Chains A and B, each alone.
Chain A
Amino acid sequence: ETVLTQSPATLSLSPGERATLSCRASQGVSYYLAWYQQKPGQAPRLLIYDASTRATGIPTRFSGSGSGTDFTLTISSLEAEDFAVYYCQQRGNWPLTFGGGTKVEVK
């Protein structure tokens, strides 16, 4: 099983700041990685797939990069609605797996 390790577990930032979230895979997954956002009481929302492609309707302040085992989600300037938990997910190897999440909270 491909284990995805997300860091940090919690990121405390202020609106307008830049957020950088990391996802590391225990084995290579090529570029087959997605990022999701989840707010309390809601279902996850697909933000990024294939490591760097924004899903439909996702603002340009969200960007993804990486390949192989190391991936990054960057939020260029945090807005109030961006404070949430973010998960990475790989589809390079079965079973599909998710990372443990990074919570972006208001500082």
Chain B
Amino acid sequence: EVRLVESGGGLVQPGGSLRLSCRASGFTFADHQMNWVRQAPGKGLEWISYITSGGGIIKYPDSVRGRFTISRDDAKNSLYLQLNSLRVEDTAMYFCARELLYNIGGQRVWHYLDYWGQGTLVTVSS
């Protein structure tokens, strides 16, 4: 069974830092691209980072570039997100999500999120 379990969220003051972790099991973690997606309370979904298998390509949207850093440790089946210079507007549930590798015809696909963790809540407040 595929499982993704996030941890590391909590209450932090504006300007502070947190490191989120996502532990994967039930699949070959090293084979998959991974993403972080967040959801502010009562709001929609926002993609915030992507890392390829092997970690060679990393992408962020403008809203977090320069403040957030995604990384992975395939030996530990783990994905990480370092959050720095946190702002009140970063308050959200943070989900890690695995990318689908192949479609039903066996062709490679990209950037569709087929398994998600339950999320870890980050609250930025003074």
Report B-chain residues with C-beta under 8 Å of the C-beta of A97: 47
Q: Would B47 and A95 count as touching, CB distance under 8 A?
A: yes
- Chain B interface main SS type: loop
Given A46-B112, A50-B109, A87:B119 Cβ within 8 A: no
Given A43-B95, A43-B117, A49:B44 Cβ within 8 A: no
B30 contacts chain A at the CB level, 8 A cutoff: no
Report A-chain residues with C-beta under 8 Å of the C-beta of B104: 53, 56
Residue of B nearest to A99 (CB): B44
Q: Would B109 and A95 count as touching, CB distance under 8 A?
A: no
B73 contacts chain A at the CB level, 8 A cutoff: no
Among the listed B61, B100, B112, B118, which residue makes an inter-chain contact with A43, where contact means beta carbons less than 8 Å apart?
A: B118
Among the listed A42, A50, A56, A87, which residue makes an inter-chain contact with B45, where contact means beta carbons less than 8 Å apart?
A: A87
Question: A6 to B111, alpha carbons, bound, how many Å?
Answer: 20
A95 to chain B, nearest CB (A): 4
Residue of A nearest to B96 (CB): A43
Q: Would A50 and B118 count as touching, CB distance under 8 A?
A: no
Report B-chain residues with C-beta under 8 Å of the C-beta of A15: none
B67 contacts chain A at the CB level, 8 A cutoff: no
Q: Would A98 and B116 count as touching, CB distance under 8 A?
A: no
Among the listed A42, A49, A98, which residue makes an inter-chain contact with B100, where contact means beta carbons less than 8 Å apart?
A: A49
Question: A1 to B46, alpha carbons, bound, how many Å?
Answer: 13
Q: Would A91 and B110 count as touching, CB distance under 8 A?
A: yes
Chain B proximity mask over A16-56: 1 for CB below 8 Å, otherwise 0: 00000000000000001010101000111110011001011
24 A-B interface contacts by CB (under 8 A): A43-B95, A43-B117, A43-B119, A44-B45, A44-B116, A46-B100, A49-B103, A50-B103, A50-B112, A53-B103, A55-B100, A89-B47, A89-B113, A91-B110, A91-B111, A91-B112, A95-B60, A96-B111, A98-B37, A98-B44, A98-B46, A98-B47, A101-B44, A101-B45
> 11 additional contacts, CB 8 Å, given A43-B119, A49-B109, A95-B62?
A43-B117, A45-B116, A46-B113, A50-B112, A89-B45, A91-B112, A94-B59, A95-B47, A96-B35, A98-B44, A100-B44
